[in-house]
């Protein structure tokens, strides 16, 4: 059995390192067969994509904003920010 901790995370809380892992795993973006659907503890349906580190499995909640953030990801630009800088992940202008 996998002993990694599982964390549900909103895309707005992704660190630059986690965003880089997400873009690396889904370089062409994600589609329906990548999405995991489950009910959370409040019995609400959640749709997420999975990324793994050595210690943690992250379930990143999917939204149109996540797709836009991944499309606009620029590795060189993300290196200009600290990991906890709120400017790292930008809201899309939809």
Averaged pLDDT, 56-68: 80
Top pLDDT among 72 and 42 is at 42
DSSP state letters, 23-89: HHH-TT---GGG-EEEE-TTS-EEEEEEEE-SSEEEEEEP-HHHHHHHHT--HHHHTTS-TT-TTSS
Q: Give 20-45 pLDDT, tens digit per residue.
A: 999 999 988 888 899 998 888 888 88
Percent residues over pLDDT 90 in the chain: 31
Is the pTM value of this prediction over 0.75? no
Spatial separation of the C-alpha atoms in residues 10 and 27, rounded to whole Å: 19
The reported pLDDT for the residue numbered 11 is 80
């Amino acid at each position: 059995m996998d002993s990694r901790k599982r964390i549900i995370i909103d895309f707005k809380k992704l660190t630059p390192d986690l965003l880089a892992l997400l873009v690396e795993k889904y370089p062409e973006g994600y589609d329906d067969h990548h999405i995991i659907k489950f009910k959370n503890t409040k019995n609400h349906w959640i749709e997420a994509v999975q990324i793994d580190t050595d210690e943690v499995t992250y379930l990143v909640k999917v939204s149109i904003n996540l797709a836009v953030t991944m499309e606009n990801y620029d590795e060189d630009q993300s290196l200009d920010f600290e990991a906890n800088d709120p400017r790292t992940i930008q809201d899309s202008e939809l």
